[in-house]
């Protein structure tokens, strides 16, 4: 019997969250066949099988965070890797070293220990449930569905944060504990803009102009020891709202791309983020962030600066006043690294570039 362990997925990641199993006990798999999907901060990655063989047991549960090198799956026979295919590690191990199957001995109901514990705590009879798992197992959702409409429904409504949404919560908590935020706001008249103007594209181009005029906001800051790094180029993070949580893909070299190429790159990175197909490199090391939340609603916002970045720009919903149209802007910055004067000059240069875009 051999054990397959979570491989090193790169980018310095030390753990991943198990999203879905694509195989189950007793399945025969081919080399390179997808075994499991895991989420690494922002990306969902399929891990292929390093060998052909029969699956003996699954050693981790959906929703579980697994460290690199931790066991994922046991094969019934020794490794038969295809040349050049091996991903992760396969360890020979005696059969007794493999944990028992998810279903309890003598029980006809298939369920993981965590699901059995949940059912026991909530007083749900697993045998009375209709399994919805891919391999005939009762899932956590089956147990929670059985609780709906009962006195326990209030407790069952709690949803654990997983994947990108859990990462978002952790990142925002760290940011809130360290950044000293300040916000300046403005409104830019955009009456000459056509109704179908590419707002995000114009904002990105205007941000590049503002960074040239006032570099202090396109920077990183470290507190210990206090120091900052001014970036000559703009690697712009774009806040993207998804059902899984906030994702921030990065447009590299935004300051040097011509408009047509810049627009295509914006569409590309946003599409990759929404499809959840890209790796962690898509989200790595932005120098400044844009949140164009206007299409969703709201005018101004005090946004969250994520270290080591120094600033984030928010663009609200375009509104009308006295026959003119205005775009509201909110620039939140880390006051440890930038002054109010620098922020005001940056916002002024940004507003001027947006006005010129409509001429």
> Which SS3 state, helix, strand or coil, does residue 98 take?
coil
Average pLDDT on 217-240 reads 96
Answer yes or no: are the C-beta atoms of 69 and 5 closer than 8 Å.
Answer: yes
Average pLDDT on 50-74 reads 91
- List where CATH 3.30.559.10 sits in the chain: 165-357
Answer yes or no: are the C-beta atoms of 140 and 118 closer than 8 Å.
Answer: yes
- List where CATH 2.40.50.100 sits in the chain: 1-99
Which CATH number describes the domain made up of 1-99?
2.40.50.100
- pTM for the model stands at 0.67
Confidence at 94, pLDDT banded by 50, 70, 90:
very low
* Structure confidence by residue, pLDDT tens digits, 187-226: 999 999 998 999 999 999 999 999 999 999 999 999 999 9
- List where CATH 4.10.320.10 sits in the chain: 100-160
Confidence at 291, pLDDT banded by 50, 70, 90:
very high
pLDDT of res. 50 = 87
Confidence at 278, pLDDT banded by 50, 70, 90:
confident
Answer yes or no: are the C-beta atoms of 210 and 254 closer than 8 Å.
Answer: no
Per-residue buried b or exposed e for 345-356, using 16+ beta carbons within 10 Å of the residue's own CB: bbbebbbebbbe
Both tokens assigned to 116: 């059995």
Instruction: Select from 73, 24, 33 the least CA-distant residue to 52.
Output: 33
* Structure confidence by residue, pLDDT tens digits, 149-175: 554 444 556 778 888 888 888 889 989
pLDDT of res. 107 = 47
Which CATH number describes the domain made up of 165-357?
3.30.559.10
Alpha-carbon distances of 325 from 82, 195, 355, rounded to whole Å: 63, 11, 12
* Structure confidence by residue, pLDDT tens digits, 113-123: 677 878 887 78
- CATH class of the domain defined by 100-160: few secondary structures
Alpha-carbon distances of 346 from 262, 275, 340, rounded to whole Å: 21, 33, 10
């Amino acid at each position: 019997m051999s054990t397959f362990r979570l491989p090193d997925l790169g980018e310095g990641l030390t753990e991943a969250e198990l999203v879905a199993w694509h195989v189950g006990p007793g399945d025969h798999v081919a080399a390179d066949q997808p075994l499991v999907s895991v989420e690494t901060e922002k990306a969902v990655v399929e891990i292929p099988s390093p060998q052909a063989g029969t699956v003996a047991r699954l050693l981790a549960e959906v929703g579980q965070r697994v460290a690199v090198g931790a066991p994922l799956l046991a094969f019934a026979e020794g490794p038969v890797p295809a040349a050049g295919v091996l991903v992760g590690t396969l360890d020979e191990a005696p059969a007794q070293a493999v944990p028992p199957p998810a279903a309890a001995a003598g029980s006809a109901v298939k369920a993981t220990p965590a699901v059995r514990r949940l059912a026991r705590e909530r007083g749900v009879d697993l045998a009375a449930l209709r399994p919805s798992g891919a391999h005939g197992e009762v899932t956590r959702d089956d147990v929670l569905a059985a609780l709906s409409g009962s006195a326990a429904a209030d407790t069952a409504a709690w949803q654990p944060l997983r994947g990108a949404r859990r990462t978002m919560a952790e990142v925002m908590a760290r940011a809130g504990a360290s950044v000293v935020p300040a916000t300046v706001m403005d409104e830019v008249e955009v009456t000459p803009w056509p109704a179908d103007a590419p707002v995000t594209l114009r904002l990105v181009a205007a941000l590049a102009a503002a960074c040239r005029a006032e570099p202090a906001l396109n920077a990183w800051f470290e507190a210990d020891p206090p120091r900052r790094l001014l970036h000559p180029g703009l690697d712009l993070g774009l806040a993207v709202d998804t059902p899984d949580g906030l994702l921030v893909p990065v447009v590299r070299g935004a300051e040097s791309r011509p408009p047509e190429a810049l627009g295509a790159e914006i569409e590309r990175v946003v599409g990759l983020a929404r499809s959840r197909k890209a790796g962690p490199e898509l989200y790595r090391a932005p120098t400044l962030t844009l949140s164009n939340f206007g299409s969703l609603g709201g005018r101004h916002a005090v946004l969250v600066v994520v270290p080591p970045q120094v600033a984030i720009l928010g663009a609200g919903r375009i509104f009308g006043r006295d026959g003119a149209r205005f775009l509201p802007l909110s620039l939140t910055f880390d006051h440890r690294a930038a002054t109010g004067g620098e922020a005001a000059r940056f916002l002024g240069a940004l507003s001027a570039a947006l006005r010129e875009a409509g001429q």
